[in-house]
């Protein structure tokens, strides 16, 4: 089978990074599943030499990849603040009011749209995971449990709905069929409507060696360069791009219909284009230097853990997030190095990490067992986590962050 680019269909042959094989990052195990077989899938990222979209190769994706997600956005305080600020900004920038219509794709448990509900701005969430959609509905956020794409857009249009603001946070990178999704945005957007998408910026991924943001549910690793090409192919155009600190460095792009006058291009667009040009995103060399950086991080982290264990120091990890599972599997870290992982999300407590079988407990476990080191897996939240767990200083504990390079503090 010839691999081809999920956007432009050109043959895919250039490796961005090969992380071996790994289970789905959210496939946490119940105690009674530990002795069963576990499915591992290749985790191999390629870069398209035609459009420069970095992407995972197509693999035999299970149907349940998005259903019954154990992830609820509402558990991170900094992310909730980010969402509330976004709603303030958009309400003002686009003069949203009672006659506007806001649609969020992958609206999760309604953590963002509830801000629009409070302002009496009509909105609709689209959330494929039914259990998560039901949580949003219970909170009073109108939500439909469907996949978003061209067909869903047509259905909504037939009901007379058109989006003045169509937003997707951390979803664009997760859609297997990026063409169908983009056609859906084109289809649902009101004539003067604005699309905003937030996604982790490939520029930061490469610059800061964030290889652990590569996992199976995350199909594309996006640059402005690639997104502008995809938008253009579907009659949309980007008119602004903002760099955000979230998720280790994200990009928020603003798009509108390509036809018609539209909003003026903002200076921010050329700023980000310039940064990507400088990084050499228009040629393959920029992408080939990633792999050696990743291998260096693996060596640094394993050296640290080997030394810590040799000195009889105990290590616990914080945050059973998707990115943690990529790191643990790629580095081969099991209970031989890390005693347990803690997570605030009660849905994950009592389970075991996929592939590596490390038990997940509530954060109180750290206060009970007083580990010498706490390895923070979601490094993007390291300040927040360190502040919450400052108690570890009372027994001389230290924090460890492996990315962008090993740091003990
Ligand atoms: Zn391509």
String of DSSP letters for 152-211: HHHHHHHTT--EEEEEEES-GGG-S-HHHHHHHHHHHEEEEEEEEEEEE-HHHHHHTT-G
Mean pLDDT value across residues 377-381: 89
Separation of CA 279 and ligand 1 centre (Å): 19
Mean pLDDT value across residues 51-60: 88
H or E element in which residue 20 lies: strand 14-22
Strands 220-221 and 341-342: unpaired
CB 315 within 8 A of CB 337: yes
The per-residue pLDDT for range 124-158, each reduced to its tens digit, is 999 988 888 999 999 999 999 999 999 999 999 99
Mean pLDDT value across residues 344-373: 96
Separation of CA 12 and ligand 1 centre (Å): 8
E-strand stretches of 245-354: 250-257, 315-318, 341-342
Mean pLDDT value across residues 299-313: 97
Instruction: Output the pLDDT for position 74.
Output: 52
Mean pLDDT value across residues 28-49: 95
**Is pLDDT of 70 > 70?**
no
Mean pLDDT value across residues 351-372: 97
Mean pLDDT value across residues 338-349: 94
**73-263, CATH topology level:** Rossmann fold (3.40.50)
**Is pLDDT of 203 > 70?**
yes
Residue 342's φ and ψ, nearest 5 degrees, are -110, 150
Contacts of 8 (CB under 8 A, 6+ apart): 48, 50, 51, 53, 229
Which residues line ion ligand 1, judged by CB < 5 Å?
5, 7-8, 10, 48, 50-51, 53
Better-predicted residue by pLDDT, 57 or 275: 275
151: its two tokens: 């067909």
Residue 272: HSE in the Cβ half-sphere, 13 Å Cα cutoff: 29
For residue 307, count other CB atoms closer than 10 A to its CB.
Answer: 10
Output the CA–CA distances (angstroms, integers) from residue 54 to 107, 172, 201, 349, 394, in the order listed: 25, 13, 11, 34, 44
Residue 87's φ and ψ, nearest 5 degrees, are -65, -40
**Is pLDDT of 61 > 90?**
no
Instruction: Output the pLDDT for position 68.
Output: 44
CATH 3.40.50.150 in the chain: give the residue spans: 73-263
Cα 201 to chain centroid distance, Å, stands at 10
Separation of CA 206 and ligand 1 centre (Å): 19
Instruction: Output the pLDDT for position 321.
Output: 83
Separation of CA 229 and ligand 1 centre (Å): 9
Which band of pLDDT confidence, cut at 50, 70 and 90, is reported for residue 69? very low
Q: Which of 151, 78, 142, 76 is nearest to 104 (CA)?
A: 142
Instruction: Output the pLDDT for position 246.
Output: 80
Separation of CA 54 and ligand 1 centre (Å): 8
Q: What is the mean pLDDT of the chain?
A: 93
Q: What strand order describes the sheet that includes 398-401?
A: 360-361, 341-342, 315-318, 373-376, 398-401, 407-408
Mean pLDDT value across residues 168-189: 95
For residue 380, count other CB atoms closer than 10 A to its CB.
Answer: 26
For residue 340, count other CB atoms closer than 10 A to its CB.
Answer: 20
Separation of CA 55 and ligand 1 centre (Å): 9
CATH 3.40.50.720 in the chain: give the residue spans: 290-408
The per-residue pLDDT for range 244-270, each reduced to its tens digit, is 988 779 999 999 999 988 999 999 999
What is the C-alpha to C-alpha distance for residues 293 and 207, in angstroms, rounded to an integer?
9
Separation of CA 8 and ligand 1 centre (Å): 4
Separation of CA 230 and ligand 1 centre (Å): 9
H or E element in which residue 325 lies: helix 322-331
**290-408, CATH topology level:** Rossmann fold (3.40.50)
Instruction: Output the pLDDT for position 73.
Output: 52
**Is pLDDT of 71 > 80?**
no
């Amino acid at each position: 089978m010839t691999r081809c680019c999920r956007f432009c269909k050109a043959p895919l042959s250039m490796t961005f990074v090969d992380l071996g094989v790994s289970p789905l990052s959210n496939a946490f195990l119940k105690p009674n599943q530990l002795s069963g077989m576990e499915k591992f899938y290749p985790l191999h990222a390629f870069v398209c030499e035609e459009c420069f979209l970095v992407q995972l190769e197509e693999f035999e994706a299970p149907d349940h990849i998005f259903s019954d997600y154990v992830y609820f956005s509402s558990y991170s305080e900094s992310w909730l603040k980010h969402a509330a600020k976004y709603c303030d900004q958009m309400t003002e920038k686009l003069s949203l009011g009672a006659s506007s219509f806001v649609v969020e794709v992958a609206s999760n448990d309604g953590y963002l749209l509830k801000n629009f509900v409070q302002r009496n701005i009509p909105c609709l969430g689209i959330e494929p995971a039914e259990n998560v959609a039901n949580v949003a509905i219970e909170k009073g956020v109108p939500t439909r449990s469907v996949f978003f794409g061209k067909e869903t857009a047509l259905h909504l249009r037939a009901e007379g709905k058109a989006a003045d603001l169509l937003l997707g946070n951390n979803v664009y990178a997760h859609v297997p069929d990026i063409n169908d999704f983009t056609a859906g945005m084109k289809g649902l957007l009101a004539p003067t409507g604005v699309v905003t998408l937030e996604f982790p910026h490939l520029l930061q991924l490469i610059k800061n060696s964030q290889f652990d943001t590569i996992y199976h549910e995350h199909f594309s690793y996006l640059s402005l360069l690639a997104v502008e090409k995809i938008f253009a192919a579907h009659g949309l155009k980007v008119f602004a791009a903002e760099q955000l600190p979230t998720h280790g460095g994200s990009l928020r792009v603003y798009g509108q219909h390509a036809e018609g006058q539209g909003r003026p291009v903002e200076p921010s667009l050329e700023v980000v284009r310039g940064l990507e040009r400088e990084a050499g995103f228009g040629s393959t060399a920029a992408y080939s230097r990633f792999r050696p950086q990743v291998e260096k991080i693996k060596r640094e982290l394993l050296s640290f853990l080997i030394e810590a264990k040799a000195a009889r120091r105990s290590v616990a990890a914080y945050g059973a997030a998707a990115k943690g599972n990529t790191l643990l599997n790629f580095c081969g870290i099991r209970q031989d190095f890390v005693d347990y992982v803690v997570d605030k999300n009660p849905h994950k407590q009592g389970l075991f990490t996929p592939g590596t079988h490390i038990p997940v407990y509530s954060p109180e476990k750290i206060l009970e067992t007083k580990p010498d080191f706490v390895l923070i897996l979601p490094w993007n939240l390291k300040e927040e986590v360190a502040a919450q767990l400052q108690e570890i200083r009372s027994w001389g504990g230290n924090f460890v962050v492996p990315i962008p390079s090993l740091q003990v503090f």
